[in-house]
Structure 1
């Protein structure tokens, strides 16, 4: 499982283990699974798609701007806003 955190300046919005997250990067959407290579990306206004398991319909969260970081601990999205 992939550890995923969504953080805004006000609070920790989400911290959980999931199957996959699709992030609206400024160069295009990208999916992150467990074991993804480390990298950082800026994030555009758009929708995060959170897949709890491989065969589910994603939960969506609208975000505005920010950064995404993938490292050996998982995926962290630092968004300016999350709804």
Structure 2
């Protein structure tokens, strides 16, 4: 049973080391990608513009107009 326990402890240690190595590798890759995004102005512009962004901005404007209309309706009803 000692041998089995030693193998379990060793395998857990190796698993943890591999996990730590992969975590550091992924952190480096993400940092490189974010640095690339930071230096590439056209890429940033493309990420900040697009169909979804345009739709979100249009939806925001529609909501603002709707709020103004609701305020106008309330004002009309209070005048009556």
- Please give the range of the TM-score, normalised by the shorter of the 2 chains: under 0.3
Task: Select the structure that is richer in helix.
Answer: 2
TM-score (norm: length of structure 1): 0.14
